[in-house]
Structure 1
Amino acid sequence: MNIKELYYYHDLVRTKNFSQVASDFNISQPTVTMAIKRLEESFGTTFFMRDRSHHQLTVTSTGLQFDQHVQRVIEELEIAQKELARAKQERISFGLPPIIGSWYFPRFTPALLQAGLLNQLEVVDHGSASLLQLLAKGELDLALLGSLQPFQQPSLRARVIDKAPIKIIVAKDHPLTAFKNGISFAQAAQYPFITLDDEYVHAQAFRQAAHLARVRPKIIFKTSDVQILKALVANNSGISFLTDLALDANDGLIALPLTDGSQPEFIISLAARANRLLTPNAQRLWSILETPLKRS
């Protein structure tokens, strides 16, 4: 079986037109016809029904089933090409969400500098949901991901490396600072919120906390910028729901722990594709990142 024939096959399923496939791959139509014939003979079945009188081509049920396998083969081949190309360059494509990249990952930089790995990283900065998709497509070697639950996908090799509570964040002179030892989400929900948008897992955590508390908090502003969110909260424009990982001493903010049971927490995981064989440099990066660090 020629790998190119699988590409011809999938394109024919998509277009149902031999001439179009020939044009797409800059080959002759008889080349496409013979490729499909060889595949059908190889598997002892018919993948296409041809109605020459009406110039129609119909994909059989076995043809559709075979195309599902073909798509997976093509996807894996394309992923392999990307991974092998990066391996030759000795570069590591590394996914970092904004909060983890800004307030958690820097703790590892001394060890990465000492190992000579920091300058090998090609950092991709997106939200965890987007990075998870890039991992699946083979666009990334490794990623640090934020979530509310540990990852359980069979296609993913994931290790939880840290957890942090998500708290109510208020300005230092806000009335809710009276609840420094703890506050219920329902109590906090009496004040307007400034939240992160759906690119962050915090949006899901906020909805989950509101559902558990059976309240509908008022959201006056959503943003994708953590610094803007913190500045607005510090200015008493509203309160927020944020992991304390993202707080600095000079932010002018107070983090109030929630007293409610079963509250969401921010989970940080190190992840790679399950069938991805890491290069020596990528494996060294994995080993450094999975080493527990003391919280500063």
Structure 2
Amino acid sequence: MEEFMNIKDLKYFHQLVKYKNFSKVAADFSVSQPTITMAIKRIEKQFNSRLFIRDQSHHELQVTASGYQLDEHVQQVLNELATAQKELKRINSTKVLFGLPPIIGTYYFPSITPALLRQGLMKHLETFETGSKDMLQLLLKGSLDLALIASLQPIEQHQITAQLFRNYNFKIIVSPQHPLARQKEVSFKDLVAEHFIVLDEGFIHNTAFKQFCQQYDFKPNIVYQTSDVHVLKAMVKENVGIAFLTEIAVPANEELVSLALTDPQQPHFLISLAYRKNYRLGSIQQQLITTLVEEAQNK
């Protein structure tokens, strides 16, 4: 069986698909242009396919359909190798890179830390905070081991194992001084004239909020957008505007009024534990997952 091309050839090929310029790819890798040319010839010979067309009249390099198709597979190979490299570097580490989105880290995670402390697991956690949208990508790239992730639908990703933990409603929160504070519930369609304070694109709140706006075909009057939930709630307390927020982030002891939404087919704030399916679980990771699952079931 003919020996397969080396990893450098795959990297050269992918960059050439991206830039369509031999000189630029050669400069990026600090090699000669003939090195890139020979690598592409080896790959074309291996697959018996023409991957690039050189248009001499326009001095352009065109990628063939076969080239684009192969690049789809090459990207997956390179991503898997990069993930493997990260995992191998820390395979003997007792630290677990654990993702916690801001709202989950602030309002859900503290309730399960006593159990983690009893099991001696807290000292093994190295937490990383970012929005749930970015968290899933970090898991796929191998930059994290496990994560608690918020989503609007159960996570169905062929590379990810996800276990649904909790299901929370979204609420409208207002200041006690706001006219809506006298109500217990409201329909989103009746909020067309309100001023909104919203969370930014990194939060799934933003997606759910846009779904409601599209459903009722109105452009919201957004007076402020933030990545800080505490800032959002402080502005609502000052009656600057109203906000759309999961109920878990609004404890009963805060000086805010939460209104239930009466709209049918509402999105929900779901919390799931997620990790890569091909991630080899050590004893610490397995104990952590078991403890998190048990605590979720007990709440």
Query: Is TM more than 0.5 here?
Result: yes
Displacement after TM superposition at 1:63 (Å): 3.7
8 A contact 1:195–1:223 mirrored in 2: yes
Question: What residue in structure 1 maps to residue 158 of structure 2?
Answer: 154
284, 288, 297: which one pairs with 1:285? 288
Question: What residue in structure 2 maps to residue 105 of structure 1?
Answer: 109
- Greater CA drift, 119-128 or 282-291: 282-291
| Cα separation, 1, equivalents of 2:234 and 2:164 | 30
122, 125, 128: which one pairs with 2:126? 122
- What CA deviation, in whole Å up to 9, does each residue of 1:188-231 have, x standing for no partner? 55543222222211122222233445555433222211111111
Q: 1:214 to 1:3 in 2, by over 3 A?
A: closer
Q: 1:58 to 1:197 in 2, by over 3 A?
A: closer
How many residue pairs are counted as aligned between the two chains?
294
| Cα separation, 2, equivalents of 1:92 and 1:32 | 39
8 A contact 1:183–1:258 mirrored in 2: yes
| Aligned amino acid, residue 240 of structure 1 | A
Is residue 173 of structure 2 the alignment partner of residue 169 of structure 1? yes
Q: 1:29 to 1:88 in 2, by over 3 A?
A: farther
8 A contact 1:168–1:188 mirrored in 2: no
| Cα separation, 2, equivalents of 1:227 and 1:246 | 10
| Aligned amino acid, residue 91 of structure 1 | K
8 A contact 1:234–1:251 mirrored in 2: no
What TM-score comes out, normalization by structure 1 length? Answer: 0.84
Is residue 194 of structure 2 the alignment partner of residue 194 of structure 1? no
Partner-residue secondary structure (3-state), 1:99: helix
8 A contact 1:96–1:125 mirrored in 2: yes
| Aligned amino acid, residue 267 of structure 1 | L
| Aligned amino acid, residue 78 of structure 2 | I
RMSD: 3.0
Question: What residue in structure 1 maps to residue 71 of structure 2?
Answer: 67
- Greater CA drift, 116-125 or 40-49: 40-49
Which stretches in structure 1 are left out of the alignment for 5+ residues?
Answer: none
8 A contact 1:230–1:251 mirrored in 2: no
Displacement after TM superposition at 1:161 (Å): 0.6
- Greater CA drift, 171-180 or 141-150: 171-180
| Aligned amino acid, residue 225 of structure 2 | K
| Aligned amino acid, residue 269 of structure 1 | S
Question: What residue in structure 1 maps to residue 13 of structure 2?
Answer: 9
Q: 1:37 to 1:116 in 2, by over 3 A?
A: same
224, 227, 230: which one pairs with 2:230? 227
What TM-score comes out, normalization by structure 2 length? Answer: 0.83
| Cα separation, 1, equivalents of 2:210 and 2:21 | 48
Is residue 92 of structure 2 the alignment partner of residue 88 of structure 1? yes
Displacement after TM superposition at 1:52 (Å): 9.2
Residues 253-272 of structure 1 aligned to structure 2 (within 5 Å): 253-272=256-275
| Aligned amino acid, residue 286 of structure 1 | I
Partner-residue secondary structure (3-state), 2:82: helix
- Greater CA drift, 277-286 or 156-165: 277-286
Displacement after TM superposition at 1:283 (Å): 2.6
Q: In percent, how many aligned pairs have the same letter? A: 50
| Cα separation, 1, equivalents of 2:49 and 2:20 | 18
Partner-residue secondary structure (3-state), 2:266: coil
Displacement after TM superposition at 1:134 (Å): 1.4
Partner-residue secondary structure (3-state), 1:107: helix
Is residue 238 of structure 2 the alignment partner of residue 240 of structure 1? no
| Cα separation, 2, equivalents of 1:51 and 1:178 | 71
- What CA deviation, in whole Å up to 9, does each residue of 1:113-132 have, x standing for no partner? 22222122222211111112
| Cα separation, 2, equivalents of 1:76 and 1:196 | 33
| Cα separation, 2, equivalents of 1:188 and 1:15 | 48
| Cα separation, 2, equivalents of 1:50 and 1:184 | 60
| Cα separation, 1, equivalents of 2:62 and 2:29 | 21
Q: 1:28 to 1:198 in 2, by over 3 A?
A: closer
